[in-house]
Structures are given as C-alpha cells and as structure tokens.
Amino acid sequence: MAIIFDEERQVFSLHTKNTTYQMMADRYGYLLHLYYGKRVDDPMEYMLTYFDRGFSGNPYDAGRDRTYSLDVLPQEFPVLGVGDYRSAAFKVREENGCYGCDLRYKGHRVLNEKYRLPGLPAVYGEQIQTLEILLEDERLGLEVTLLYGVIEECDILTRSVKIQNVSGERVYLEKVSSACLDFLYGRYDFLTFYGRHAMERNRQRMPVAHGKQSVGSTRGCSGHQYNPFVILAHSDATESAGECYGVSFVYSGSFTAEVEADQFNQIRLIMGISEEQFSYPLERGETFYAPEAALSYSAEGLGELSHHFHRCIREHICRGKYKDQVRPVLVNSWEACYFDFDGDAIVRLAKQAAQLGIELVVMDDGWFGRREDDNSSLGDWDVNEGKLGCSLQELSKRIHETGLQFGIWIEPEMVSEDSELYRRHPEWAMQIPGKPPVRGRNQLVLDFANPEVVGYIYEKIRDVLIQGNVEYVKWDMNRSLADVFSGRADWQGKVLYDYMLGVYSLLERLTAEFPDVLWEGCSGGGGRFDMGMLFYTPQIWCSDNTDAIDRVRIQYGTSFGYPLSAMGSHVSAVPNHQTGRVTDMRTRGVVAMTGAFGYELDLGKLDEEEKRQVREQVAMYHKVAPLLLHGRYYRLSDPFTDALGAWMVVDEEKKHALCSVVCLENHANMPVAYVRLQGLSRNGKYRDQETGKVYSGAALMSCGIPVLTEFGEYRSWQILLEKM
C-alpha cells in the first residue's frame, strides 16, 4: 500500500518507490509534519520536541502546558491566527476583518484513484492513490480538505487543497498555498530559476538564511522572471550526490515560492498562488480548489531529482497524441519573413522544406484581420484572404500537396485596441473604469474571467482550425496582465484566478476537439513555461532567443524541472536576430536537437553546403528522436561557469546514448577538456558510431573523454554510442 494510517499513533505514511512522507494528527487535532526523505517504515513522531519557548504562544487547549506551541512545531498546513508567526500557507479574513481560522483534524479517507481538480490541470494516471485529510474550523463553518496523490514509480507526491464554506458567513481567502514543507534542521540552499524575456531560467543557488527568501510572479502568468519550480538542496548536494527536494507548481498564473529559516534554524518552504490581488470570497455552500503542486525527493543529487520530474511530466502531465510520439521537424516562418509574406511565400517555404526532409511548415503571426505589424487586429480571427491571395483552405491544400503538414500561430487571450473586436466590445478587455490602461505591444488582455468572452474566442479559433485543416498550433501570450478588472465579477480579488480557469477551459475545449493537433505553448518564448501549460501543450517554445550559445544556458536551466521533449528548440539564421552572434550550422543543430527540433529561418537563403547539413541534421534527429523523447537526461557541465556546455541522454536499457558538447570559450593554446559521461552501464562496452572506437562504460564515466581543441569559435561535437 502506498498510503498507510497507524490508527494508534494517528500517523499517516505516504510511500513511493524510494521515499516516505509522514504526518500526524496530534492530541489537540493539529496536523503536524513528521518526515520527508528516504523510505522508512517506522513512525517518526519521536522527532518532535517540546520546550517552553519565550514569546511562542500556546493554544488554549494546551492549558498550562507552555511547552506546546505551533510557533515551533512542524506543520502540514500552517494557518495565520493560531500563534505560528512564520510564513502561513493559509489566510482567511472574516467579514469583520479578523484572521482567526483554527483548523483541526476531523477525519480522512484513502481512495484508489487520483483526486480531481475541476477546471485545473493536474497529474493523472492509473495506480495512483489519494489521501484526503479533512480539517475543520467549527466556528467559521469552514472545511479544508488536504489532498495528497502518490505516484509511486516516479517518486512524486502531489498536494492540493479543497476549501468549502459549509455553514458559515462569507469569508475571504487571502492566501491559499498548495504545499508546505517543514524541516526541523539542516543546512540547505535555495535553487531558483530567474531570467528575463529572451534569457529565461538562469539557475541561482543561495544558502537559506534567517528570514524569508521568495520568488514569484504578479504578472497573471508564471513569467520570464522566475519559474514556478524550485529546489531545496542540502548544501553539499551535487548533480550526482546529496539530498534535495523539488516543488513544481501545476499552474500558469501568478505564484509565490518562499523559504524561511526561523529563530530555531527550522526551515519552511511554501508554494502557492500569489497573495497579490488575490482575495477570493467564499459564500455559504461554495467550494474553492487550489492548484496542484508536485513534490519529489532525491538522495542521489540534482540529476536524479530532475529524472523524477521529467518522467512525471512525460507520463502523467502531457496528454494526447504527441504525449509519447516523436514530433515532426518543422520550419516556422517568423524569422524567415516576419509579417512580410503572402500565401505564395508560405508555399515556397514549404517546397524548400520538403526538399530538405522537413515535415511541417508553420505560418506565424500576420495571417488574420489587417495584421501587418504587432499594433492591430488581435481578436479578429478572420483569415486575411487579400494578403494570402487565397482562402486558408486553399493555402492548406497547396501546402499539403508538397507533402508537408500545416500549422499556424494564434494569440487568443489578447485584443488590439485597433481591432474590430475591440470596437464592438471594449468591455471585453481588462480595463479599470476611469483609468487609462497600461499597454503592452499596443494590445490589451481579454477578460477570460468572463465565460462569454471565452466562448466567443473558442468559436472563432475553432472555425479557423476546421477550414485550415491545421495540424500544429503555436499558442502565444505576449504581455503581462495589468489593470485587472472584470465587468462580470462581483469582487475583483477573484479575477486573476478566474482568468486562469478561463484560459484552461479554452485550452481543454480546443485540445479535446482537435486531438490530432500538435499544440505548442508560448509566451514571448518561455514566459509561461510550467507544468500547468504542459497539461495541454506537450511542448513549449523555450525562448524567443534562438542564439545557440544562449540557448545552451537557457536549456540547461530549463532541464532541472522539465524534460527535453517539452522544449521547443530551433536552428535559426546567423548573424543571430537576437544577439548578432555567428555560430556554424553544426553547432546550431547540436543545440536545437536538445528539444523538439525545428528551423526558424529562410530556407531559400541557404547555400548548398548548408542545405546538405540540414538534411543530415534532420536524418540524425529522426535517428535519435526516440532517445531524446524517452531517455534519461544528464547535465555534464555548468555552462555558466565552465568553458564547455555538455549534456547527454541515455535510454532506459543503457544501450544507446547521445552526448553533445559545445565549446563556449575560445583562447589561444587552450588546454584539453575532459567530459565525464553518466548513466551508462559500468560493465558495458560502447562503440562510437561515427569513429568505430570502443570504450568501456566504466572508463567513460570515471575518466571521461577528451574534447579536442579545434580552431574557430563555438565548435561542437556529438557522440552517438551503442552498447555492444
């Protein structure tokens, strides 16, 4: 059994293949956290200690016992108002302004299926057990159900919260965190992934210090600036050794991840919806569901922790036809021609692509309304037949006649002020009455908290997909939310959450109706790269920055929480459009092959040698695509500090491996660099399929392989190994 309840001790144990998570309902009904780590079979309540701590209050139930205080005890779901002065996971404001919620254990049940979260993405699958723990505040008439899912084979636990106002007056949910981890002791580092547009998910590792450290987003989306995936790693943890914990938020809106070391060196980690602009009224009879958080523990370093999340995302988050299917190699029109195209140009690109073995052509921004730049027509999802020179149906037919599939770009959550939709329905755009709006790219955000707006956009996009026989859709979002206001909302503190429910509802309807479409998420590249979006789109455009050297670092940071199959990655033209850097075609291919592979350039401008290399890259990708899609990924260097970017993928049977290396620095008379491989069979013999050289797995992992210096900048190597 994955979930065991010790009735005598009132201890809950949640077991995965290699880990145990424990908590206890104590004599006063408070739910205390006991343990999360390597698998153990014994109850761990002996770890709790009780002392009379100055200025740490005692619950009334404890009477004269000054040694009992929630200010120092580890908790599962800490609440503001019970004498715990650390970061709270739950804040409830009453109508009179008080914060006095006091939750006590009332019961539990175990289900042999995964719990569901209406309207929200969540981990799914067979053989998943659920633990529901009911907490209650009788005075407020509030029931809080803590939800736990156990995915044994992935060493993943999930957490969420269901809140019901069963009999009380209206209350306001001011903070609802999905997960809390309390640690009694330990020296830990907080690993976060920060960035900006076109340079996302740079890894940052800082010691946990006294006080609060937090990252998050108040943008209405998870954002380029901080990712909703964090790691708490023991100070000596490395890629291949040491204890570490990961928490990933299955949500695409505003969030907060915070860690706090208290006065007794205890550490608390919390993940949940951002408190900013969140105040959710709960009337009698109403229910609120918090988004899900996925947790994992590794005793074998950061690499193994990544493997847990990679497998969970591939098998229990991504859905549909392309969940475990090799994706077609595509070429996107954006960096080839931007807005300057017609139907003939797209067909010409498709014919050029067909000659090179590319399988799908994507018509990016500019095919609808009067869209000739990024200042107009968002919301007008009618095909501009004058610009294309034909209907979308005719264009699609011409492209399919070349042997290629056809894809398009959309940005359904936005509206341009210069659009027919805005002129007809200005009230459908998020704007605070009487206040001039904050603009982004001269576009506003549609009120997806309003079901009428969502329904209208659904019908328009649906019509486009039907008439175009579309097989790929890039779903973009190119500005952050501001002026958060919905004319349909009776209380504006619920709008950001309801907006995300609207986005998810549209995604669910469209992906269900068009199951054969390959959906790719995007928000100016990686501005909404999270498990929530991956529930609907099995890949996300990793960054608008297509520079190969920057992408080595961007994809490195992304890999800590997300698999290669989720990363949209393309070969683009040089000098690169974002950095001006020049890298050779081989290096651009090696880097782009670390993800969902494609091209982002004008194929007609390639010379014959470059075309030959493209054909070789496409053939190589098809050869290794199953390995990239399903294999175990290993980071072999840190491209932020090392002269090399190096990584590899190994299949589960350890029979095939692909190692990739990119030289990031170039100096005169450079020393030889050596790269140690990982994940191979130590007793196995491996043949380099290009040179025929044979190596032992033990030698490759213990000593490594020399990377020979070549003249020129940003050289790269790929080594494809096969076990003999």
Q: Classify residue 283 by burial, with Cβ atoms within 10 Å: 0-12, 13-18, 19+.
A: exposed
710 catalytic per annotation: no
The one catalytic residue in 136, 413, 530, 550 is: 530
Q: Are strands 330-332 and 596-600 parallel, antiparallel or unpaired?
A: parallel
Residue range 56-92, pLDDT digits in tens? 999 999 999 999 999 999 999 999 999 999 999 999 9
List the 685-688 sheet strands across, edge first: 632-635, 644-650, 656-663, 716-723, 685-688, 694-696
Local confidence band at 576 (pLDDT 50, 70, 90 cut-offs): very high
pLDDT of residue 373: 96
Q: Across residues 429-443, what is the average pLDDT?
A: 95
pLDDT at residue 710 tops 80? no
Under the banding of pLDDT at 50, 70 and 90, the label for residue 646 is very high
What's residue 708's pLDDT? Answer: 75
Q: What digits encode the pLDDT tens for the residues 390-435?
A: 999 999 999 999 999 999 999 999 999 999 999 999 999 999 999 9
Q: Is 502 helix (H, G, I), strand (E, B) or coil?
A: helix
Backbone angles phi, psi at 584, to 5 degrees: -75, 165
Beginning with the edge strand found earlier in the chain, give each strand of the sheet holding 11-15 in spatial order.
3-6, 11-15, 19-25, 31-38
Would you place residue 669 in the very low, low, confident or very high pLDDT band (cuts 50, 70, 90)? confident
Residue 48 structure tokens: 């709790």
Amino acid at 355: Q
Contacts of residue 383, defined as CB under 8 A and 6 or more positions apart, other chains included, come to 367, 368, 391, 392, 464, 467, 468
Alpha-carbon distance of 612 to 404, in angstroms, equals 19
Average pLDDT over the chain, rounded to whole?
Answer: 97
Confidence (pLDDT) at 240: 97
pLDDT computed for residue 671 by the predictor: 87
Q: Give the CB-side neighbour count of residue 225, counting CA atoms within 13 A.
A: 14
User: What would the pLDDT profile of 335-377 be if each residue is shown by its tens digit?
Assistant: 999 999 999 999 999 999 999 999 999 999 999 999 999 999 9
Residue 519: both structure tokens together: 């959906």
pLDDT tens-digit series, residues 238-284: 999 999 999 999 999 999 999 999 999 999 999 999 999 999 999 99
152, 610, 642, 688: the catalytic one is: 610
d(Cα 73, Cα 163) in Å, to the nearest integer?
24
Is residue 706 within 8 Å of 674, Cβ to Cβ? yes
Q: How far apart are CA 204 and CA 646, in angstroms?
A: 19
Distance CA 593, CA 628 (A): 8
Q: Strand runs (DSSP E) across 208-302, as ranges?
A: 211-217, 229-234, 244-250, 255-261, 267-273, 280-282, 287-289, 292-298
Tally DSSP H helices, then E strands, for the chain. 13, 38
Q: Are 128 and 3 in contact (CB under 8 A)?
A: no
Domains of the chain: residue spans and CATH: 3-88+97-316 (2.70.98.60), 330-541 (3.20.20.70), 644-723 (2.60.40.1180)
At residue 126 the predicted structure's pLDDT band, cuts being 50, 70 and 90, is: very high
What does the block give as tokens for 335?
A: 């960096």
Burial 599-619 (b: 16+ CB within 10 A, else e): bbbbbeebeeebeebbeebbe
- What does the pLDDT read at residue 568? 98
The percent of the chain in helix, strand and coil, each rounded to the nearest 5, is 25, 35, 45
Q: Which residues are paired to 520 by β-bridges?
A: 474, 539
Query: For the chain, what's the residue count?
Result: 724
Verify whether residue 530 is a known catalytic residue: yes
Task: Kindly state the average pLDDT of the residues 646-653.
Answer: 97
What secondary structure letter does DSSP report for 351?
Answer: H
566 pLDDT above the threshold of 90? yes
H/E stretch holding 551 = helix 548-558
Q: How far apart are CA 461 and CA 401, in angstroms?
A: 24
**CA separation for the pair 654, 303 (Å, rounded):** 16
The span from the first CA to the last CA of the chain, in angstroms, equals: 40
Tokens coding 19: 């880990």
Give Cα 63 distance to the centre of its chain: 47
Percent of the chain with pLDDT strictly greater than 70: 100
> How far, in Å, CA of 259 to CA of 276, rounded?
18
User: Facing residues of 51 across strands?
Assistant: none
**pTM of the complete model:** 0.98
Q: What are phi and psi of 619, to 5 degrees?
A: -65, -40
Residue 670 has pLDDT above 90, yes or no: no
Instruction: Place 462 in a pLDDT band, splitting at 50, 70 and 90.
Output: very high
One-letter amino acid at 121 equals P
pLDDT tens, position by position, 159-177? 999 999 999 899 999 999 9
Phi and psi of 131, rounded to 5°? -115, 125
Q: What is the pLDDT of residue 411?
A: 98
Q: Among candidates 283, 278, 287, 284, which has minimal Cα distance to 174? A: 278
Integer Cα distance of 67 and 676 in angstroms: 53
